Amino acid sequence: MNDIEAFNSIIEGIESYDSFSILTHVSPDGDTLGSALAMHILLTGMGKRAEVICEEPVPHIYKYLPRAYKVVLPDRAKGYDCVIAVDCADMQRFKKAEHIFRGAKHTMAIDHHFTNRGYADANLICPEASATCEVVYELYKLMDKPIEYAAAVCLYTGIVTDTGNLTYSNTTPRCMRMVAEMYENGLNITEINRNIYRTVPFSKTRLQGFVLSNMKLELDGRIGIATLTVADMDRFDATNEDCEGIVDSVRDVESVKVAIFIREGRDGTFKVSLRSKECADVGKVAGKYGGGGHAAAAGYTSREPLSTTVANVLRDVTEELEND
């Protein structure tokens, strides 16, 4: 992360404005929420006004995050002069909050997705970073702001969730040094990890067992695919949050090189999640359908029937694997 000019453009924007709306992406994860709340702590610590906006309520798994209670839905947002989008590769990720971005006097984007083409007035995009929280960590350092305990909880959450608890291929010595520094300064990583990885609702356990017991293997076991309908969700009284991690469990199957999880939404669309063991560029597949992400983790929304969605993604993933 050597783009000092990009960092300075964000710092200049922070210094120039007094009020900020921080936008997160739809289906919020630990990185978008962690980086947003860490920015909220940074800005209010400087005497600025700030709000964090999300399309959906904070998932139960992330309710432990400091200031999580301050996250507001788009229709409750004030819409301040300057907008900072975090961990959002494009404006479509804002969903109902897009009008807040478009109505701002000045816009900034802080991100780590290589598909981000720079849609804001000032863009800080670091594809080499493991998580957007890693970029925000560097911003704290460049601004000579202390990373107090609450901010450390947020930043650590984003880094560990986007790196699979420091196990994915995007884990780097740099992000591990960041974690080590926060740990040395007293961060209770045991408690945070318990909240993220070791506290599971019963509904989630039942749902994931059902989905995984019905998953299928294709292409001689190199592709694992699982599907979930709204009717299945209702059967187990499950929420969208309960689906988190299913695609990773599909990927964990020994023979699987690419995992696919397709979940039906109540609007009739299908959310397609893709994971790769570095054997295929699933970001390329997602991009074909207007989605995005990374080479090893990506997703998109399909408006085709389930049978067509399955056929299309199997064809495209097969081509990626055969061309690898």
In this structure, what are the phi and psi dihedrals at residue 289, rounded to the nearest 5 degrees? -110, 20
Residue 285 has pLDDT above 70, yes or no: yes
Residue 234 has pLDDT above 90, yes or no: yes
Residue 32 has pLDDT above 80, yes or no: yes
**Least confident among 38-47, 145-154, 192-201:** 192-201
How does residue 64 score in pLDDT terms, banded at 50, 70 and 90? very high
Of 249, 255, 252, 244, residue with least CA distance to 321: 255
Angstrom CA distances, 10 to 29, 33, 152, stand at 23, 19, 20
266-289: average pLDDT: 94
Residue 13 has pLDDT above 80, yes or no: yes
257-284: average pLDDT: 95
The per-residue pLDDT for 3 is: 86
What is the average pLDDT value for the chain, to the nearest integer? 95
The per-residue pLDDT for 1 is: 64
The per-residue pLDDT for 292 is: 86
The per-residue pLDDT for 323 is: 82
Residue 235 has pLDDT above 90, yes or no: yes
Q: Which domains does the chain have, with CATH numbers?
A: 4-197 (3.90.1640.10), 202-323 (3.10.310.30)
Question: How distant is the alpha carbon of residue 305 from its chain centre?
Answer: 26
The per-residue pLDDT for 294 is: 86
Please state at what angle helix 149-162 crosses helix 189-197, rounded to 10 degrees. Answer: 50
104-130 pLDDT, tens digit per residue, is: 999 999 999 988 999 999 999 999 999
How buried is 219 (Cβ within 10 angstroms: 0-12 exposed, 13-18 middle, 19+ buried)?
middle
Angstrom CA distances, 237 to 205, 215, 240, 318, stand at 12, 20, 10, 34
**What sign for the dihedral angle of Cα 168, 172, 175, 176?**
positive
Residue 228 has pLDDT above 80, yes or no: yes
How does residue 2 score in pLDDT terms, banded at 50, 70 and 90? low
Q: How many CB atoms lie within 10 A of CB 173?
A: 8
Residue 58 neighbours by CB under 8 Å, 6+ apart: 28, 33, 65, 68, 71
Please state at what angle helix 30-45 crosses helix 132-142, rounded to 10 degrees. Answer: 20
CA dist 268 and 47 (Å) reads 44
Residue 53 has pLDDT above 90, yes or no: yes
